[in-house]
A and B are shown apart, each in its own frame.
Chain A
Amino acid sequence: MLNELTIKEAQEKLKNKEISSVDLVKACLERIKKTDEKVKACVSVLEEGALVEAKKADERIAKGEWEELLGIPYIAKDNIMTRGVRTTASSKILENYIAPYDATIIKKIKAAGGILIAKANLDEFAHGASTENSAFGTTHNPWDLSRVPGGSSGGSAAAVAANMCIFALGTDTGGSIRCPASFCGVVGMKPTYGRASRFGLIAMTSSTDVPGPITKTIEDTAIIQKIISGTDKNDLTTVDEKIDDYQEEIQKDIKGLKIGLPKEFFEEGIDAGVADSLNSAIEKLKELGAEFVDISLPNTKYAVPVYYIVTPSEVSSNLARFDGIRYGLSDQGGSDLFDIYAHSRGKGLGPEAKRRIMLGTYALSAGYYDAYYLKAQKVRTLIKQEMDEALKKVDLILTPTSPHTAFKIGEQSNDPLKMYLEDIFVTSASLAGLPAVSVPCGFSDGLPVGMQLIGSRFDEKTILRVAKKYEENSEKAELKT
């Protein structure tokens, strides 16, 4: 089936005119029609527009033109602005919002010829680890429909796993690409903070938000990461660092590379099946020539409490823009401006967004700032220093992405604190701004397990290289639905 192709395969087949972009886009759209009633990965499907673009791509290919993604269909998480297309962040407050411009990463994918075919579901405003917090319903894990796909980029990861598209874009603030990639058995990469532009992402936590690829293979992640990387005058936190040729870098050997195993990430109550999968992967990497070093990151146990001060604080500020004045749901019923703000926000925002706004407002309010926000930012320094020190001694760090596989829908949604603890292995890299990739690493009771590789700042190439060697030497399981 054409919708099962990787980017690399689709590129070759399109270039050799073995297939047309119209056929490829149609195959994905048909797959969405057939399976999305059950999976519910897509918030909007752009059938008509996508086919028009596919025809144009075929005409360009016929004329001998070539772009890296020309004619290749993809899905973007619905907190990424896409001009002329409804962009909801899976919130009722943006239910009918049409984005007036494209995010920088969307512009880049468009310039490379990629065709947007749908917008993917997420936890409202990317707040969550299960995609249950969406105003438009829960996305289901394609491997087991009674389970969550992880989150917050759950729609993007489920869509890639179910072959509804060739690749997808997500955003990661404290694990939102890596967690669903792990639960859905696909590759998900959070690049270094500042590696790719945040312009046009609906802001959540500005100091850790990053966009990144969710793909079927490491090589596909290498292709997309290269395209979306780079400085942007509309995001002054992007950094002018050399962008490596990741596709070339991942071909290199891993002999002699030093991989750190932080003991704290292996003793914290991880499921036996996850531990077994990780241990086999470690053995495999040893055979391939990598050297393992035991390390200790004692302060990372504070990553979740730090994250749940920093994030709500920045969320309370970033979500202040949803006030019923310039866009989004607006309740004009009250008597003054205050009423418009409070009514519109009360009606339009969901429970988790409200909780985070409240927590952040409290943490930043007079008398509590030093005890919470400032304290958290100081502990963040310790976490960052500790990881930087470790990465001077080793080339990368290996951990499980999550302590367990995908959990049942509804199992933890009534306890916010329990849900926050889902982020236990993924927040440290976000707080330190380090690149990290989740790689499929076998199965536990039929559910995918993810392995996380964390690298030095701007050294995406090394983690991708190790991931690629592992992928080449492990069996890929095909999803049967």
Chain B
Amino acid sequence: MKLEKKDIEHIARLARLDLSEQELKEYGDQLSDVLGYINQLQEVNTDSVEPTAQVTGLENSLREDTVDNWPEAEREEALAEAPETEDHQVKVKRVL
């Protein structure tokens, strides 16, 4: 299947990615190629097959619902990575 420029722009917007004109064209062609290759999966009969997301058979690994405080020093180091902070919290531009 061939992806048009408007499709690529739409996907890039969903993915929150700025792409240059050059990238839009290049990725359009490359993604179309890859999707063409992947389409061979349609020839496999999977009518009564369940999907696999987990391979080891683990189900519902539970743990106690308790607060496990992050060591203060590590927390401060993590906060120091943010471009803007206030009162030990990450500051962001207004959302609404």
A343 within 8 A of B: yes
**Residues in chain B near residue A192, CB distance under 8 A:** 56
Give chain A residues whose Cβ lies under 8 Å from the Cβ of B67: none
Nearest-neighbour CB distance to chain A for B69, whole angstroms, equals 13
Q: Is the CB of A236 within 8 A of B61?
A: yes
B55 contacts A362, C-beta separation under 8 Å: no
The chain A residue sitting closest to B33, CB to CB, is A417
In the assembled complex, the CB of A358 is this many whole angstroms from the nearest CB of chain B, namely 5
Which one of B30, B51, B55 has the greatest number of beta carbons of chain A within 10 Å? B55
Q: Does B63 contact A (CB under 8 A)?
A: yes
Which B residues are CB-close (under 8 A) to A349? 17
Query: How far apart are the CA atoms of A340 and B93 in the complex, in Å?
Result: 9
Smallest Cβ-Cβ distance to B44: which chain A residue: A379
Measured between C-beta atoms, what is the minimum distance from B18 to chain A in Å?
3
Q: Which of A400-438 contact B (CB under 8 A)?
A: 416-417, 420, 431-433
Interface string of B67-88 (1 = CB under 8 A from A): 0000000110110111100000
Which of A7-15, A54-62, A212-220, A329-337 lines the interface with chain B? A329-337
**How many residues in A have their beta carbons less than 8 Å from beta carbons of B?**
69
Q: Tell me what chain A mostly uses at the interface: helix, strand, loop, or mixed.
A: helix
How far, in whole Å, are A378 and B25 apart by their CA atoms in the complex? 32
Whether the pair A457, B15 counts as a contact (CB closer than 8 A) is no
Asked whether, in the complex, the Cβ of A193 is within 8 Å of the Cβ of B56, the reply is yes
Of all chain A residues, the one with the shortest Cβ separation from B62 is A236
CB distance from A194 to the nearest CB of B (A): 5
A187–B37 Cα gap in the complex (Å)?
32
* Pairwise interchain contact B56-A433, C-beta atoms closer than 8 A: yes
- Which residues of chain A come closer than 8 Å to B15, judged between CB atoms? 316, 345, 357-358, 361
- Of the residues A237, A320, A328, A357, contact of B58 by C-beta under 8 Å: A237
Q: Collect the chain A residues with CB atoms within 8 Å of residue B83's CB.
A: 324-325, 330, 332
SS class, residues of chain B in contact with chain A: loop
Q: How large is the interface on B (under 10, 10 to 19, 20 to 34, 35 or more residues)?
A: 35 or more
Chain B residue at minimal CB-CB distance from A418 = B33
Q: Mark A346-381, 1 if CB is under 8 A from B, else 0.
A: 110101001101110110010000011011111111
With a cutoff of 8 Å between Cβ atoms, the chain B residues found around residue A305 in the complex are 37-38, 40-41
* C-alpha gap A362/B4 in the complex (Å): 13
* Structural contact, B44 and A384, CB atoms closer than 8 A: no
Residue of B nearest to A307 (CB): B38
B23 to chain A, nearest CB (A): 7
Using Cβ atoms and an 8 Å threshold, which residues of chain A touch B14?
Answer: 361, 365
Whether A337 lies near B92 (C-beta < 8 A) is: yes
Measured CB to CB, the closest approach of chain B to A417, in angstroms, equals 5
Residues of A near B92 (CB, < 8 A) are: 325, 337
Max count, chain A CB within 10 A of own CB: residue among B34, B75, B90: B34
A341 within 8 A of B: yes
Within the complex, the shortest CB–CB distance from B2 to chain A, in Å, comes to 13
Residue of A320, A354, A359 touching B34 (CB-CB under 8 A): A359
Kindly specify which of A95-103, A257-265, A288-296, A472-480 makes contact with the partner chain.
A95-103
Contact B90 A325 (CB under 8 A): yes
Q: Does A354 contact B49, Cβ atoms closer than 8 Å?
A: no
Cβ contacts under 8 Å, B8 to chain A: 358
Asked if A326 meets B82 with Cβ closer than 8 Å, knowing A343-B18, A347-B18, A349-B17, the reply is yes
Q: In whole angstroms, how far apart are the Cα atoms of A211 and B3 in the complex? A: 36
B27 touches A326 (CB 8 A): no
A343 contacts across to B, CB distance below 8 A: 18
Question: Which chain A residues numbered 39 to 78 have a C-beta less than 8 Å away from chain B?
Answer: none
In the bound complex, what is the Cα–Cα distance between A170 and B27 (angstroms)?
29
Residues of A within 8 A of B90 (CB): 325-326
Task: For B81, give its contact among A100, A306, A361 (CB under 8 Å).
Answer: A100
Task: State which of B3, B23, B46 has its C-beta within 8 Å of the C-beta of A354.
Answer: B23
Contact indicator B58/A194 (Cβ below 8 Å): yes
Q: Which residues 1-34 of B have a CB within 8 angstroms of A?
A: 3, 8, 11-12, 14-19, 23, 27, 30-31, 33-34
Q: A206's closest neighbor in chain B, by CB?
A: B53
Note all chain A residues with C-beta closer than 8 A to B94.
337
Query: Which chain B residues border A5 with CB–CB below 8 Å?
Result: none
Return 14 A-B CB contacts under 8 Å, by A number.
Answer: A100-B74, A193-B55, A194-B55, A305-B38, A327-B81, A340-B93, A345-B16, A351-B23, A355-B30, A357-B17, A358-B27, A359-B34, A362-B35, A417-B33
Residues in A lying within 8 Å of B, measured CB to CB: 83-84, 97-98, 100-101, 192-194, 207, 233, 236-237, 239, 299, 302, 305-306, 308-309, 316, 320, 323-328, 330, 332, 336-338, 340-343, 345-347, 349, 351, 354-355, 357-359, 361-362, 365, 371-372, 374-382, 384, 416-417, 420, 431-433, 457
Taking A325-B90, A345-B18, A365-B14 as known contacts, 13 extra A-B pairs with beta carbons closer than 8 A to each other, sorted by chain A number, are A98-B81, A101-B74, A207-B55, A239-B56, A325-B82, A337-B92, A341-B16, A345-B17, A358-B8, A378-B44, A379-B44, A381-B52, A431-B55
